Amino acid sequence: MYSKEEAVMKKILMIVVVVSMLFVGCNQNKDKVKTNEIDSNDVGSEVEESATENNPVAGVEISGIETEDYKGNLITDDTFKGKKLTVLNLWATWCGPCVEEMPDFEKVAVSYKDKEVQVIGLTIDSDEDEVKILKEKLGITYPLIKDNEQLKALITSHFDYVPVTLFIDSEGKIIESFIPGGTTEEQLTQKIEALIND
Residue 16 inside a domain? The answer is no
Residues in the chain: 198
Q: From the CB of residue 54, how many other CB atoms can be counted at a distance below 10 Å?
A: 10
Which domain covers residue 44, as residue numbers?
26-196
Taking only the tens place, the pLDDT of each residue in 51-105 is 468 999 999 999 999 999 999 999 999 999 999 999 999 999 999 999 999 999 9
Number of H helices, E strands in the chain: 5, 9
| 100 found inside a domain | yes
Mean pLDDT, to the nearest integer, of 131-136?
A: 95
Query: In this predicted structure, which of 100-104, 107-111, 194-198 has the lowest mean pLDDT?
Result: 194-198
Give me the mean pLDDT over the 16-26 stretch.
46
For the chain, how many structural domains are there in total?
Answer: 1
- Please report whether residue 7 resides in a domain: no
Residue 192: CATH number of its domain: 3.40.30.10
Classify residue 134: in a domain, yes or no: yes
Flag whether pLDDT at 21 surpasses 80.
no
Q: Judge whether 96 lies within some domain.
A: yes
**For residue 15, is it within any domain?**
no
Give whole-number Cα distances, 33 to 46, 94, 125, 180, 196, in Å.
19, 4, 12, 20, 35
Decide if 18 is inside a domain. no
Listed in sequence order, the residues at least 6 apart from 160 whose beta carbon sits closer than 8 Å to its beta carbon are 27, 28
- Looking at the chain, the whole-number percentage of residues with pLDDT higher than 70 is 74
User: What pTM was computed for the model?
Assistant: 0.78
Whether 8 is in a domain gets the answer: no
Q: What is the CA radius of gyration of the chain?
A: 18
